[in-house]
């Protein structure tokens, strides 16, 4: 099949970018979206042009590295899918496809479709951990945890940090990401111990990175490849309000 692509090209962080048109012929319906871009890049190399740069790693939908706006939607038109798991059979022959990087002030574009998501790392570094002395791994059954609790914590931990929630949010809020990390830890007995301190620090860092407010439109839950529930945002707010009230 043949597609008419409009791709965001930008030289570097400070330069102004623009949409560039490409006609791509000979696309197989079995290709993933990234493989379609690989095909285009091969041809660009053949012509001696600079390739379109984009983030990718595992290409099996579990790492969270890839992510772009495809036809105005984060990770493309499907819900619950990463860009690498989007296949060309979902597109029609002769269709025009717009490809842009995820946009937010906190996610500066480095080049083309590649963005800097260090802001997420800073949020994790600010409190997304459990303080523990190093040494031998403790006996795993010494702290009993109910099965539903581990499952609920794991549902939150499934967040791969791809940034689709921020990209799709009308306010570029990182509430879903941050709340998933907070929820994941606060559900477990080891994580509960530092919950107040953690939520204050992580929310503070989220703000410092320049993310917006959560308006509860719930678009993030729809676009999240891991289908992280917006109820985690409610839990983050609960933990935050509790910490504010009880803080000395």
Give the distance from CA 37 to its chain's centroid: 20
Share in percent of the chain as helix, strand, coil (round to 5): 40, 15, 50
Residues near another protein (CB under 8 A), total: 50
Q: Of 37, 45, 163, nearest to 91 (Cα)?
A: 37
Tokens of 125: 């570094």
Question: Under the criterion CB under 8 A, does residue 20 sit at the interface with another protein?
Answer: no
d(CA 213, CA 170): 9
Q: Nearer Cβ to another protein, position 41 or 237?
A: 237
Instruction: Look up residue 96 and give its two tokens.
Output: 């025009």
CB of 130 to another protein, least distance (A): 21
Q: Out of 31, 51, 124, 222, name the contact with another protein by CB under 8 A.
A: 222
Q: With CB under 8 A as the contact rule, which of the stretches 27-35, 84-92, 120-128, 237-245 interacts with another protein?
A: 237-245
Cβ proximity of 166 and 106 under 8 Å: yes
Q: 104-133 mask for another protein (x: CB under 8 A)?
A: xxx---------------------------
Query: Least distance in Å: CB of 94 to another protein?
Result: 17
Does 203 bind another protein (CB under 8 A)? Our answer is yes
Residues 244, 203: Cα–Cα separation, whole Å: 12
Asked if 213 is part of the footprint of another protein (rule: CB under 8 A), the reply reads: yes
Phi, psi angle pair for 114, to nearest 5°: -90, 130
Say how many C-beta atoms besides its own lie within 10 A of residue 149's C-beta: 13
Nearest CB to another protein, comparing residues 125 and 216: 216
Q: What span, in angstroms and rounded, lies between the C-alpha atoms of 236 and 228? A: 13
Cβ proximity of 162 and 82 under 8 Å: yes
Of the residues 59, 73, 114, 122, which one makes contact with another protein according to CB under 8 A? 73
- Cβ of residue 159: shortest distance to another protein, in angstroms? 16
Q: How many CB atoms lie within 10 A of CB 104?
A: 23
Does residue 75 interact with another protein by CB under 8 A? no
| Window 165-194: residues binding another protein (CB under 8 A) | 168, 170-173
Query: Is there binding between residue 195 and another protein (CB under 8 A)?
Result: no
Task: Please give the backbone phi and psi of residue 215, each rounded to the nearest 5 degrees, phi first.
Answer: -100, 5
- Measured between alpha carbons, how far is 2 from 14 in angstroms, rounded to an integer? 33
Q: Does 15 bind another protein (CB under 8 A)?
A: no
* Among 78, 90, 114, 217, contact with another protein (rule: CB under 8 A): 217
Applying CB under 8 A, among 214, 225, 226, 228 the residue interacting with another protein is 214
* Sites of contact with another protein (CB under 8 A): 6, 8, 19, 69, 71-74, 79, 98, 100, 103-106, 168, 170-173, 203-204, 206-207, 210-219, 222-223, 230-242, 244
């Amino acid at each position: 099949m043949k597609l008419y692509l409009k791709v965001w090209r930008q030289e570097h962080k400070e330069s102004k970018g623009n949409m560039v048109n490409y006609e791509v012929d000979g696309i197989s319906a079995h290709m993933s979206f990234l493989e379609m871009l690989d095909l285009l890049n091969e041809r660009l190399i053949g012509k001696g042009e600079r390739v379109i740069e984009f983030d990718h790693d595992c290409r099996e939908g579990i790492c969270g590295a890839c992510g772009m706006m495809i036809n105005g939607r984060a990770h493309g038109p499907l819900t619950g899918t990463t860009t690498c798991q989007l296949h060309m059979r979902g597109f029609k022959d002769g269709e025009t496809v717009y490809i842009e990087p995820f946009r937010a002030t906190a996610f500066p574009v480095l080049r083309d479709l590649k963005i800097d998501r260090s802001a997420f790392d800073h949020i994790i570094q600010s409190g997304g951990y459990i303080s523990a002395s190093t040494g031998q791994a403790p006996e795993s059954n010494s702290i009993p945890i109910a099965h539903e609790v581990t499952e609920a914590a794991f549902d939150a931990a499934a967040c791969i940090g791809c940034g689709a929630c921020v990209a799709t949010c009308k306010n570029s809020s990182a509430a879903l990401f941050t709340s998933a990390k907070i929820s994941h830890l606060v559900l477990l007995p080891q994580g509960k111990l530092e919950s107040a301190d953690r939520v204050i620090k992580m929310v503070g860092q989220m703000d410092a990175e320049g993310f917006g407010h959560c308006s509860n439109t719930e678009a993030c839950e729809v676009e999240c490849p891991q289908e992280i529930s917006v109820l985690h945002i409610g839990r983050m707010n609960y933990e935050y309000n509790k910490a504010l009230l009880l803080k000395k």
